[in-house]
Amino acid sequence: MIRPIKIFLYFLLISLLVVLFDQWLGRVNFPVTNTLSNILEPQNNDSVSGLLITEAEQTDTNVTITLPDSLPPKDTLPRINKPIIVSDSVLTAPPLFQELYRSFCQKAQTADSLRQVVRVLHIGDSQIEADRITAILRKHFQQLYGGSGPGFVMPIDPLQINANVSVSHSDNWTLSYSYKKKRAPVPVRYGISGKATWFSDSAATFTIQPIAWKSQRLRKFPNIRLLLSAPDAPLYIKSEIDDHSRYDTLARRTDILQLLSFQDSVFPRNIRFYFSGTTSPVIHGITLDNTGGVAVDNLAMRGRPWPGLRISDHKMVREMAQQLNTGFVILQFGTNVLPTKTDNYNFYRIHFLKELQLLKELLPGVPVLVIGVQAAAESKDGKQIAMEHARLISEAQKAATLACDMAFFDLHKAMGGTRGAIDWANETPSLMLSDLMHFSGRGARVVGDQIWIALDSLRNHLQKPVAP
């Protein structure tokens, strides 16, 4: 009886080692503690008609929007006669975007030597959770321009979707979302991430540690900044970074976003914050970067069809973007619209356009790339059926994007069109998860590389001298 038990334990150990080794190679982009059910579990939220939309967004009808039936091609810079076609025309880059992206590339090129951090924000739905796709973009940006560290993280992670650092905290923290608000003891102003956290009682802690098997580039973040709004009463903060301690006191509340900066060891092993006060501050996040180069942030918003800027605090969005030196924004939404089947997505185009118009107003001069919704499929009676309406959603996104002079990456087309998800699912190993809407770890890497190839081709084109 003992021998079968030993054999079972032996195979169990081998299986665990295989999973850990697979993650170490980067073939699985979910944390060890996470499961697929966590990523794709049904949401208990204020979902309306299958979409996580707040009441304020539903009743936002104060503007009449008229879009042309067709948009003229805007694929060239001024004074360039031939159109720019990148990666078989999957990337459409209007002239204004090209000018802004050229400027971003120039800033990124000198950021490391000037000891400045320029940020890329990758904002999306559950498709990018656990750093999927973002991880590949971060690797490429930092290999080209310098920089290291995982970027922006929330120190409270109840869904366990943070793939790059380990976070732990006392039990009295609450994480709230702009689109799923909870009662708070203090006023909460939501910024560009749509998240904020605070504690109850009079004291709380949280700890952040690098994950030992992650790459050296992700574990190198000597430049640490805590983003918070001060409470009404005095707040005492003790920070411990490895063997170094520091004490800060925030005396009174202000309407300005406050940043506490720490520059310590190149490879910090343990970051711990202690908070004490009669009223909690609002923590908006923490950035883990190098002292220069490019930082790429993963801002995942599960269940959302768009970023939700209309229900954010606009002043806080501006402050966060400015304080963090945001240079480029990538938006990737649409997965949560796929279950809503119709032959007319004009409602989505209008909502998406309003979000883009507001983003352009709040972050003037920042280039924005929209990643269109992916090809998708569903299983019925054992057969894989392509979601043909995914193309209509993509077209609605593209129309709104080009109306704002932003760039559009046609992911649906890049996957091969309507049957793309089926073809990707039948690859070995599969590039899709079993729901045929989300990418597998391998598929996410392919998508990240496709986006980068398109952006890098555009960058190389923009570096060429313009003929007089």
Q: What is the pLDDT of residue 27?
A: 38
Pairwise CA distance, residues 215 & 233, whole Å: 41
What confidence tens digit (pLDDT) does each residue in 388-430 have? 999 999 999 999 999 999 999 999 999 999 999 999 999 999 9
Tens digits of residue pLDDT in 432-466: 999 999 999 999 999 999 999 999 999 999 987 65
Contacts of 141 (CB under 8 A, 6+ apart): 108, 120, 147, 294, 296
Q: What is the pTM of this model?
A: 0.84
d(C-alpha 296, C-alpha 152), whole Å = 8
Higher model confidence: residue 234 or residue 268?
Answer: 268
CATH (residue range 152-290): 2.60.120.260
Greater pLDDT, 17 or 339: 339
| Whole-angstrom distance, CA of residue 453 vs CA of residue 458 | 9
> Would you identify the CATH topology of the domain 42-147+292-468?
Rossmann fold (3.40.50)
Per residue in 115-159, pLDDT tens? Answer: 999 999 999 999 999 999 999 999 999 999 999 999 999 999 887
Domain segments of the chain: what residues? 1-30, 42-147+292-468, 152-290
- pLDDT tens-digit series, residues 245-257: 999 988 766 667 8
Quick one: average pLDDT of 353-367? 97
